[in-house]
Amino acid sequence: MKIMKTIEALLKENNGMIRTKDAVNAGLSRTTLSQLVKKGMLERVAQGQYIRPYEMPDELYLLQQRSDKIIFSHETALFLHGMVEQMPLRYSLTIPSSGKVSTSLSDRCKMYYVKPELYHLGRCIVMTKMGNEVTTYDAERTVCDILRSRSRMDSQIFVAAMKKYAARKNQDWNKLQNYSEAFHIKKQLMKYLEVLT
């Protein structure tokens, strides 16, 4: 009974997810977690991550919990900002070029690496469709990212996202210009925006 109270408290604290390290810190053993999975009381969704078996996992939130280095970017950031309709098949993540993530994460996601001094530029927190906070880049940084990486993107997604940004009511043109200068893509950006506006 005490175990289940601890499990429920952890699930409530962590938006319906338990990490092994949090369970161990709360006095539960790894064996206890394995037994709860065998009994069907928890479901293991990734290494070191558990949820209730009947709940739909928030994959973006689960991924975010796997590394504090990842920031959702490119196609995934477009989705989070409502600039594309569909969630991408592979999530796009940016980490500093000096950083590393697990092979299981890099195999599953589209990875982008950026100079450490540009890593935090435009970083923000947004809510997923399931109501959890995740770290992504703001719309202006995302526009710069997709412009810089357009050869790795579907051209239809790229054009649709640029049009969507140009039509937004809350663009920040100054911020977009500053970011484009930081990434040395100001001329390219102006060329695309002239066509779209």
| Pair of tokens at residue 19 | 């990490």
Q: Supply the range of the domain harboring residue 104.
A: 60-196
| Mean pLDDT confidence for 62-76 | 92
Domain count, the chain: 2
CA distance 197 to 155: 19
Residues 33 and 105 in one domain: no
pLDDT in tens, 168-189: 888 898 999 999 999 999 999 8
CA distance 98 to 117: 11
Residues 102 and 49 in one domain: no
15: region left, alpha or beta (phi > 0 left; psi from -120 to 50 alpha): left
**Cβ–Cβ under 8 Å, residues 119 and 192:** no
* Closest listed residue to residue 18, CA positions, set 44, 55, 56: 44
Calculate the alpha carbon distances from 55 to 89, 123, 130, 143, 146 in Å. Answer: 21, 29, 11, 34, 33
pLDDT in tens, 9-33: 888 888 888 999 999 999 988 999 9
Residues 16 and 91 in one domain: no
- Domain end residue (candidates: 41, 57, 73): 57
* pTM greater than 0.75: yes
CATH number of the domain bearing residue 6: 1.10.10
CA distance 144 to 37: 44
* pLDDT above 90: percentage of residues in the chain: 46
* Closest listed residue to residue 21, CA positions, set 59, 64, 65: 65
